[in-house]
Amino acid sequence: MKEENIIIAMETGGHVDPNPDKDIDKNRDTAECENKVAPIAIESKALLDQDYPDFVEKYFSRHYCNGVKDEGDDYCVLVHSNRVCLVTLADTHKLKASDKIPVKVDFQISDKINRGDNAMTGKGKRGAQQLQNNSILCHVTCEDGTTYSIHAAVAGKLLAINQDLVQTPEAVKKSYIAIVLPSIPTFESFQIPLKNDDGFYDVVCDD
């Protein structure tokens, strides 16, 4: 018996561990396991780190309709392949480009017409309000009293308005205003070009 084992045996009442290095090996194995990362976890993290297109970028093309009524009356129409169009303000719209704060969105555009009263039935959307590109969708009043008339930008049937804007008028600068179903000829007139660098289609409407 080795001298060091004799000393251990004396101190432990005669018991000597036949494999004194096993604790060292166990600690080494534990450290190695802690440093290992499962390959599937690495792959999952790599997938999460990738940039994926958002819903709008993936399913809609962007069409710009500038100067619908006058200079600065610019709109970005998001066009889906099923013909549905979402009308939004373009970044160059005089309201969106300003520092003005909207405090009221009113879909009652006249004494007789309220865009919120849009009863329609059936697959053909019978009874839906008919819009021209320069039809008014709503009036927006800002904190300083300035009022803007927001236009449809695309001719077709009004399917819905964004009722949430009544409660949160400031969102009119970044949200959709109305959903419009253009006629088939109008929809077919949209030319779909190649995507630009940021993944969108860009078209300027010629009115």
DSSP notation for 168-193: -GGGGGTS--EEEEE-HHHHHHS---
| pLDDT (tens digit per residue) in 6-22 | 444 444 444 445 555 55
Residue 13, CA atoms < 13 Å, CB-side half-sphere:
0
Is the distance from CB of 134 to CB of 69 less than 8 angstroms? yes
The DSSP secondary-structure symbol of 132 reads: -
Query: Is-above-0.85 flag for pTM?
Result: no
Flag whether pLDDT at 89 surpasses 80. Answer: yes
CATH topology of domain 55-202: OB fold (Dihydrolipoamide Acetyltransferase, E2P) (2.40.50)
Q: Which residue has the higher pLDDT, 188 or 143?
A: 143
Domain boundaries, the chain: 55-202
Q: Is pLDDT at 140 greater than 60 in this prediction? A: yes
Quick: pLDDT tens for 96-127: 999 999 999 999 999 999 999 887 777 777 77
pLDDT score at 147: 97
Tens digits of residue pLDDT in 21-47: 555 555 555 555 455 544 544 444 444
Q: What is the DSSP letter of 113?
A: -
Q: At residue 59, does pLDDT exceed 70?
A: yes
Instruction: Provide the pLDDT for residue 45.
Output: 44
Beta bridge partners of 114: 108
pLDDT on residue 63: 87
